[in-house]
């Protein structure tokens, strides 16, 4: 089958108008898992399925360096981030994140911080006429993760930080005001954290031993050099930003509890297995990242398709998480599907696939599952009223979210 080198029409408009549905629609129209396209003038091969995910994560086939578009680097990941590296440089930089999360008290202590922050916030929520769940969850998460990371931050500075971290996520795939807000937020926070790194290195600020700030400030890359302060700031943001982005999944959990309230009691009972199954199903069912990609370092072939050197390869995350061959009735929300199922490393891929220790799969995925499991139980236990609101989720908007952000009237802490 011919590869994507033949000139194809530009598909940016289709991506803009169809969003998460763009690649699944193309596959349905052609009857193939592998389809060609063109984005930003570059030929694209879009792939889907566990074997396709294995192909993408093999550095002999696909490289991430120079593959992430500047608008995404300038808002979501940051320039010089671990996401833009390959090979030994990537492995050494990523080991810094793995070490932080996989240390004995890494994930557990952060989950405890978030739980405590949530519990402290509930009485304040109950004193208000209503709250927007995605915004309040972001404040809880941003405050907790900065404390865990050892970043000095006054309590009254948390709302502003949360807004900036949310803006970076909300504007990475858009134009106009959302994108402008994301760039401005990143500029502010990179400058702030770069100065913190300089102060730590010069002894002007003391941070807890072993904290994320200290580890990032002292880290040496594969070349033996310390990170430039601005790059160190980028990597600190790559700890606190994705943690705060769990607010999207908290909002989706609220949405799911409103749509399928029969799950509330079982979730509120706190069974760890069901809470984790809930977290997996929320991440599978709801749209978050639409796809990930890289560039072919040489001419390669996949699924009978020739992929030219330097062309783009996209793995359709949303499509794979809704693949009926993998999930059976994929548009039904059923946490039970994960109760007796061992999840393959390349099957459930809302945050990428493979082994986070050795390739580009998000090292914070285990943390995301732990945080979402804990917060979903607490959310189910809240006594709330649900006012009339727009709960639609537009698939053309990337990243998607419930239109209202999920508005709740909190009447008491637990049911």
Specify the CATH number for the domain of residue 191: 1.10.630.10
Position 259 in a domain: yes
Domain span at residue 377 reads: 12-412
Position 4 in a domain: no
Check whether 4 has a pLDDT greater than 50. Answer: no
pLDDT digits (tens, 9 = 90+) for 190-214: 999 999 999 999 999 999 999 999 9
Position 381 in a domain: yes
pLDDT at residue 5, rounded to an integer = 44
Q: Nearest-CA neighbor of 50 among 360, 402, 369, 326?
A: 326
Position 5 in a domain: no
Measured CA to CA, the distance from residue 334 to residue 354 in angstroms comes to: 24
Helix, strand or coil, per DSSP, at residue 23: helix
* pLDDT (average), residues 240-245: 96
Position 107 in a domain: yes
pLDDT digits (tens, 9 = 90+) for 17-38: 999 999 999 999 999 999 999 9
pLDDT at residue 407, rounded to an integer = 98
361 phi and psi angles, rounded to 5 deg: -65, 140
Other C-beta atoms lying within 10 Å of the C-beta of residue 387: 11
pLDDT at residue 363, rounded to an integer = 63
Position 111 in a domain: yes
What average pLDDT does the structure give for the chain? 92
163 phi and psi angles, rounded to 5 deg: -60, -40
**Comparing 219 with 103, which gets the higher pLDDT?**
219
- Neighbouring residues of 330: CB distance < 8 A, sequence distance ≥ 6: 284, 321, 322, 323, 324
Number of folded domains in the chain?
1
């Amino acid at each position: 089958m011919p590869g994507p080198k033949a000139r194809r029409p530009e598909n940016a408009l289709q991506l803009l108008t169809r969003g998460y549905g763009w690649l699944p629609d193309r596959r349905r129209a052609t009857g193939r898992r592998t389809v060609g396209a063109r984005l930003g003038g570059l030929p694209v091969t879009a792939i889907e399925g566990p074997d396709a995910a294995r192909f993408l994560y093999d550095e002999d086939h696909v490289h991430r360096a120079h593959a992430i578009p500047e608008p995404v680097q300038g808002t979501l990941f940051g320039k010089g981030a671990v996401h833009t590296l390959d090979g030994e440089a990537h492995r050494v930089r990523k080991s810094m994140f793995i070490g932080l999360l996989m240390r004995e008290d890494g994930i557990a202590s952060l989950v405890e911080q978030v739980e405590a922050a949530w519990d402290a916030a509930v009485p304040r929520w109950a004193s208000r006429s209503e709250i927007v769940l995605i915004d309040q969850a972001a404040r809880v998460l941003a405050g907790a993760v900065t404390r865990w990371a050892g970043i000095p931050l006054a309590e009254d500075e948390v709302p502003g930080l949360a807004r900036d971290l949310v803006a970076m996520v909300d504007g990475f795939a858009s134009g106009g005001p959302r994108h402008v807000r994301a760039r401005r937020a990143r500029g502010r926070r990179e400058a702030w954290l770069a100065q913190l790194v300089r102060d730590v290195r010069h002894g002007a600020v003391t941070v807890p031993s072993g904290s994320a700030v200290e580890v990032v400030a002292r880290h040496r890359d594969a070349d033996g050099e310390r990170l430039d302060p601005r790059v160190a700031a980028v990597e600190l943001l790559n700890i606190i930003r994705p943690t705060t982005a769990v607010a999207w999944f908290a909002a989706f959990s609220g949405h799911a509890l409103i749509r399928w309230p029969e799950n509330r009691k079982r979730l509120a009972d706190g069974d760890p297995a069901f809470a984790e199954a809930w977290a997996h199903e929320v991440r599978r069912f709801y749209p978050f990242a639409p796809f990930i990609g890289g560039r072919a370092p040489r001419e390669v072939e996949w699924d009978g398709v020739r992929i030219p050197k330097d062309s783009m390869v996209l793995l359709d995350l949303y499509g794979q998480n809704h693949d009926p061959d993998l999930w059976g009735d994929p548009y039904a929300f059923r946490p039970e599907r994960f109760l007796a199922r061992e999840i393959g490393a390349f099957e459930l891929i809302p945050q990428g696939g493979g082994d986070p220790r050795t390739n580009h799969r998000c090292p914070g995925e285990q943390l995301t599952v732990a945080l979402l499991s804990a917060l979903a139980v607490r959310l189910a236990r809240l006594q709330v009223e649900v006012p009339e609101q727009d709960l639609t989720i537009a698939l053309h908007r990337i990243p998607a979210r419930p239109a209202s952000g999920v508005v709740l009237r909190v009447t008491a802490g637990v049911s």
